Structure 1
Amino acid sequence: MKMKTDVLIVGAGPTGLALATALQQAGIDHLLIDRLEAGLNLSRAGVIHAHTLEMLEPLGVVPQMLAEGLKMTRFAVRDRRHRLMSIDFDRLPSRYPFVLMLPQDVTERILTERLAALGGRVHRGVEALDLAQDADGVTVRVMTGSGERTIRARYVVGGDGMHSKVREASTIAFEGGRYEESFVLADVSFAVPPREQEVSLFFSPAGMVVVAPLPGGRHRIVATHRHEGERPDRAAIQHLLDTRGPERGGPAVVPVVAEVHWSSAFRVHHRVADTYRDGRLLVMGDAAHVHSPAGGQGMNTGIVDAMLLAPLLARVVRGAPESLLDAYGARRRPAAEAVLGLAGRLTKLALVRGRVRRGVRNLLLRALDRVPPFKAKLALQLSGIARRELAVAPGGDAGSAGEGDATGWRLAA
């Protein structure tokens, strides 16, 4: 592993992989490191939205994602057996009028394979210990399998999650808080699957649960949960479905869990970095913004961060003024704030307590279900298309909706 580079990327999740692949394709010298010896074999994020697919087009990975993913065109909101609202994605002004269900580990594999095909690689088992920047670059002390080493980089990008070492080494504040509720994520196989082929959000007095199809016959379960840190087993997941999903005796089928492939329970924070750049240190993805899983926005927002940052870094490395990097945060921080607002509103709706308040919420959603402009606007927000203008580099052209290069730039330029 070389000890000097133009761009050091810390963290090889989808965001880091997207940035590294874009820089590799652009011919920009970089290093991508990750403290893990191997990528996590967990799906975690399971949704890729239309705007994210548009942004990923220059990397050449979208056809493989479409081949391995599952296209869904409807998102339904229900209170147990009662349908409250449905959002259709098949009329989105995009080449991708759907939600693509694709486990995160598959997304990471596809990006890793593309990076390798372009001649790049992930340096695993390399952990950033501390960073110090000066006028000319950043000195990063890392731990490798053969001991401590020092990497010298012109710029360092933190894609290393909520507890980012890169952000902690900077002056970037990360303000916010956390929800009182914990959340459960699980991928399961059903002995008796749901009848509907859609992403379904169920409200109930006991809490909320999302049931979403994944490729290979599996389903993603997302639910509020009272016990942080537990790994719910089959009985626990079944209990969530029995008490929050479709009621027995109703028109819908109550899913029966056959196997839990993986599960996790965790507390969710809502935070956003006050700036995305401190000199030669930059942050993206969960290092810059974290929020509720409602709406499946986290990984998508991070990937778009990376795909906007890549051309800006490329231009600066090639001699453009360093101040051009300020445009990255100027565009992506408002996008993150919009996502935090959307996820927060969806979460508050799901967590409404009390019979009267739940009744008012349900009446409101039923009324809004009869307002096509509202539903179309919500589809644009969920798909990310409403934030297209916040993903265009200075001097770029976002093009018309659903046409041309939605990223507004060419990697090799």
Structure 2
Amino acid sequence: MRDGMRDVIVVGGGPVGMMLACLLAAEGLDVEVLERRTEPSMRSRAIGIHPPSLRALARIGVADALIERAVQIEDGVVECDRHRLGRMEFTRVGAEYPFVAALPQYETEALLRQRFDQLAPGRVRGGAIVTGVRDAGDHVDVDVDVDVREAPAAPGRTAQPTEVPTGTAQPTEVPTGTVQARYVVGADGARSVVRAAAGIRFTKYGPPATYLMGDFDTEPLASEQYMHQNGAGSAKTAHSRAVLYFERGGVVESFPLPGGRRRWVAMTDRLSPGASSADLAGIIRWRTGVDVGVPLGPASAFAVQQHLAARLVAGRIALVGDAAHEISPIGGQGMNLGWLDAVQLAPALRRAIRETDAAPSALETYDRRRRRTARTAAVQAGFNMAMGRPRTGALLAARNALVRSLAAPPASALVARAFTMRWL
């Protein structure tokens, strides 16, 4: 590499990779990010940012700007057949950040890129295609090629360029050939090239499920309608409340976004890539009776199959985020779980680099703890998916009774704590 061997190369410049890069750079480590995309994705995927993640974002100086742009979700309700089954209140489960922040992923990524560019200018290499990773014993070799094309965007709502915070870090020239680092981290998603190169098994966990997702503008709807549909005491509360509809035909989830928008997700009986926003709106109206408003782009169909990596560390190669564990996004755990991986991996890498004798124990501790947490998160996500499956008759009555019991004290406090990932 022209500038010498890096301390850490992070493969993948999504929200998890950029969080890790910021944490490492803030500790004075020499870190570089290799990102396949040549332009930032303008699609909204993950939106929920939980209190433990807000604490991590505060450590790198991003939390305040993010919260300023986000909607603060302080509670959520659960409904079935137009009746409320229960309510979760997030304000009582912690004083520091008593809410879940909702912000489109492209805005979150832009804030992280900005911060990393302040900490390590010019260290995001856009258009970098990693084709091979080899642990050489005292360092790692990374084979890099160049692709001037933008990688396919992830499913979600297409944004307008004006919605991205200004000052987003731009990718710089890509070094080709073989580059080197003391450690390499795969933050390159569920189809991780780094994980495959390290020979780490990625095992399916639990049954699959399919969903249809879309974002809608609710402003044309009357405030009174939303107050009625969401059981809120005011229009402001209605527009900032999460609603889970555990309906007979399958779960429908609704989460607020900035600017009077809402994200809607509906479980489906099959993957429907050709479904439109009108199809999604029809499913929601049939199950819940709610009119969702004006679509903000096409609907996205996606399938969920949870996976867990057999290990998160192999020599000088480590994994974070979806490369380490693909967790159902239902309940908003995926991105947040990856950020908390980064929070624990950053000090482990710092210690491994500065105290070489301590490297094996530091990385083994990261591996053990995060795999245990990922297994727990997968169980919780599996429970969330199971609760949302279609139910009728006695099974529907039993599920609704369970929801009512979980929404009542003292269980409600524990459920709110789990929903906001404070158990992590």
State the TM-score, normalizing by the size of structure 1. 0.87
What does residue range 3-22 of structure 1 map to in structure 2 within 5 Å? 4-22=5-23
- For 1:263 and 1:21, how far apart are their aligned partners in 2? 33
- For 1:361 and 1:107, how far apart are their aligned partners in 2? 35
Q: CA deviation at 1:217?
A: 1.2
Aligned to 1:363: 401
- For 2:28 and 2:277, how far apart are their aligned partners in 1? 48
Aligned to 1:144: 146
State which of 170, 173, 184 in structure 1 corresponds to 2:198: 170
State which of 381, 385, 388 in structure 1 corresponds to 2:418: 381
Q: CA deviation at 1:286?
A: 0.3
Q: CA deviation at 1:262?
A: 4.5
Aligned to 1:67: 68
Q: CA deviation at 1:256?
A: 3.6
2:261 is the counterpart of 1:259: no
State which of 295, 320, 337 in structure 1 corresponds to 2:375: 337
Q: CA deviation at 1:318?
A: 1.6
Deviations 1:369-412 (A, max 9, x none): 33x1211111111222112xxxxxxxxxxxxxxxxxxxxxxxxx
Percent sequence identity over matched residues? 34
Q: CA deviation at 1:68?
A: 0.5
CA, structure 1 residues 256+58, in 2 after alignment: closer, same or farther (shift >3 Å)? Answer: closer
The 8 Å contact of residues 225 and 265 in structure 1, kept in 2 or not, is answered as: no
State which of 307, 321, 327 in structure 2 corresponds to 1:291: 327
Q: CA deviation at 1:5?
A: 1.4
- For 1:94 and 1:183, how far apart are their aligned partners in 2? 34
CA, structure 1 residues 52+366, in 2 after alignment: closer, same or farther (shift >3 Å)? Answer: same
Greater Cα offset, 317-326 or 166-175: 317-326
What does residue range 205-284 of structure 1 map to in structure 2 within 5 Å? 205-228=248-271, 230=273, 232-245=275-288, 247=289, 254-284=290-320
CA, structure 1 residues 133+218, in 2 after alignment: closer, same or farther (shift >3 Å)? Answer: same
2:147 is the counterpart of 1:119: no
- What amino acid does structure 2 have at the position aligned with 1:86? R
Q: CA deviation at 1:3?
A: 6.3
CA, structure 1 residues 322+262, in 2 after alignment: closer, same or farther (shift >3 Å)? Answer: farther
Deviations 1:293-331 (A, max 9, x none): 221110000011112111111121123421111111122
- For 1:223 and 1:255, how far apart are their aligned partners in 2? 14
Deviations 1:33-87 (A, max 9, x none): 1111112111100100011111222101000011000101112111130111211
The 8 Å contact of residues 321 and 341 in structure 2, kept in 1 or not, is answered as: yes
Aligned to 2:359: 322
Deviations 1:230-263 (A, max 9, x none): 1542311211211222x3xxxxxx2242123343
Stretches of 4+ moved more than 4 A in 1? 145-148
- For 2:271 and 2:353, how far apart are their aligned partners in 1? 44
Q: CA deviation at 1:338?
A: 1.3
- For 1:231 and 1:18, how far apart are their aligned partners in 2? 34
- For 1:174 and 1:271, how far apart are their aligned partners in 2? 6
The 8 Å contact of residues 188 and 262 in structure 1, kept in 2 or not, is answered as: no
What secondary structure sits across from 2:43 in the alignment? coil
State which of 299, 302, 305 in structure 1 corresponds to 2:338: 302
Q: CA deviation at 1:177?
A: 4.3
Deviations 1:135-155 (A, max 9, x none): 111111111257842111111
State which of 181, 189, 214 in structure 2 corresponds to 1:186: 214
The 8 Å contact of residues 51 and 421 in structure 2, kept in 1 or not, is answered as: yes
CA, structure 1 residues 147+12, in 2 after alignment: closer, same or farther (shift >3 Å)? Answer: closer
- For 2:407 and 2:135, how far apart are their aligned partners in 1? 53
- What amino acid does structure 2 have at the position aligned with 1:203? F
- For 2:177 and 2:272, how far apart are their aligned partners in 1? 34
**What count of residue pairs does the alignment treat as equivalent?**
379
Aligned to 2:233: none
The 8 Å contact of residues 56 and 307 in structure 1, kept in 2 or not, is answered as: no
The 8 Å contact of residues 26 and 60 in structure 2, kept in 1 or not, is answered as: yes
- What amino acid does structure 2 have at the position aligned with 1:360? A
Aligned to 2:132: 130
Deviations 1:331-381 (A, max 9, x none): 2111111111111111101104332201111122223333x1211111111
* Structure 2 residue ranges without an equivalent (≥5): 148-173, 231-237
The 8 Å contact of residues 195 and 319 in structure 2, kept in 1 or not, is answered as: yes
Q: CA deviation at 1:223?
A: 1.4
Aligned to 2:187: 159
- What amino acid does structure 2 have at the position aligned with 1:25? A
